[in-house]
Amino acid sequence: MNRPVRWGILSTAKIAETAFIPALRQSTRGEVVAVASRSRERAEAFAGRHRLPMAFGSYAELLACGDVDAIYNPMPNTLHAEWTVAAARSGKHVFCEKPLAMSPAEAELMIEACAAAGVVLVEAFVFLFHPQTLKLRQLLDRGAIGRLLHVHAYMTFSVRRPSENIRLNRSLGGGSLLDTGGYPITFSRFAFGEEPVSVQAETHIDPLYGVDTRAGLILRFPGDGIATLSTGLDAVGGPGAALFGDEGWIELPTPYHPTPKSEFTLHTRTATETFEFDTGVVPFSPAIEHFHTCVAEGERPLVGPENALGTLRVIEAALEAGRTGQRIEV
């Protein structure tokens, strides 16, 4: 492909404005050319704000457009599978917001549809493609903190009530585990480089909205590795992670959305070293640039969509553990 990858956005979701479009504007290999909404007026207003040449009054119209190569899917969780499969069948590559699907079964259907169509599918856990995370992988692999024993990771923020926020809407796939929970779960799986064998969890179900708004998890990994994770929609705090080994530990203040200037600190028995990353770009940019390489040059994604299956299995197990009070084998 000798021209930029041409993107269309399915829906006028806020994250498209605050995260995705700024990343595309920093890209050298892609451009946003279209947006679709169920309302043509909303689509046209969005297109006007962001100087997009095309606006569609339905998602199907955008997918039928021959001037669009790839789709950004930031729709509610319950619509990820339907419209990702539709995009694949229209020959569009897909960058889909997390969680990839509502369940492992849905994710498998999406993966199969994209593979059958020969299009790229990437889940938007953008930290997995960032230089900060790639450096962390190098340090863990060379034993910088010895044997990894314990990961502690969290992601919490407060959604005010009453609210129409889709994170509190059960019918649209709301709940903390399907939203903020995916970050520490995916991060801990990345850090250990394998899947957990069991999940314990305590969850708080909001009596008004019927979704989990707080959860604490313990994941056990093969051997004696443990991850303790916190997620929530009704507590301030934000992101954070720490990894503890038998020879040292690593502290990450921005593990999931590294800022244009970010850093983390390695502590060993004898020294402390800070690793700084001056990328100059917003958190989505490295993932988007890698996506462009995969589309234009036929490379396989550094992290394939199959990775989503592990996180979704943990979320299912955590919800069951919260309901039953039992440890769930994964």
**For every one of its 330 residues, what pLDDT tens digit does the chain have, with 9 covering 90 and above?**
789 999 999 999 999 999 999 999 999 899 999 999 999 999 999 999 999 999 999 999 999 999 999 999 999 999 999 999 999 999 999 999 999 999 999 999 999 999 999 999 999 999 999 999 999 999 999 999 999 999 999 999 999 998 999 999 999 999 999 999 999 999 999 999 999 999 999 999 999 999 999 999 999 999 999 999 999 999 888 999 999 999 999 999 999 999 999 999 999 999 999 999 999 999 999 999 999 999 999 999 999 999 999 999 999 999 999 999 999 999
- Are residues 313 and 169 both part of a single domain? yes
Beta sheet of 328-329, edge-to-edge order: 272-278, 261-268, 248-252, 234-245, 148-158, 226-232, 212-220, 198-205, 328-329
Neighbours of 171 (CB within 10 A): 10
Q: Which domain holds residue 116?
A: 5-124
Query: Which residues sit opposite 307 in a β-bridge?
Result: none
Which of 64, 95, 124 marks a domain boundary? 124
Question: Which residue in 64, 65, 86, 84 sits closest to 76, CA to CA?
Answer: 84
Has 135 been annotated as catalytic? Answer: no
Rounded to the nearest integer, the mean pLDDT of the chain is: 97
C-alpha to C-alpha distance for 89 and 278, rounded to whole angstroms:
39
C-alpha to C-alpha distance for 27 and 129, rounded to whole angstroms:
15
- Are residues 178 and 317 both part of a single domain? yes
Amino acid identity, position 63? L
User: Do the Cβ atoms of 210 and 169 come closer than 8 Å?
Assistant: no
What does 244-297 look like in DSSP terms, one character per residue? EESSEEEEESSSSS--SEEEEEEEESS-EEEEEEE--S-TTHHHHHHHHHHHHH
Please count the residues of the chain.
330
pLDDT digits (tens, 9 = 90+) for 185-240: 999 999 999 999 999 999 999 999 999 999 999 999 999 999 999 999 998 889 99
Which of 73, 105, 124 marks a domain boundary? 124
C-alpha to C-alpha distance for 96 and 88, rounded to whole angstroms:
12
pLDDT digits (tens, 9 = 90+) for 268-301: 999 999 999 999 999 999 999 999 999 999 999 9
Predicted local distance difference test score (pLDDT) of residue 2: 81
Number of structural domains (the chain) is: 2
- Are residues 226 and 115 both part of a single domain? no
- Are residues 138 and 258 both part of a single domain? yes
- Are residues 101 and 175 both part of a single domain? no
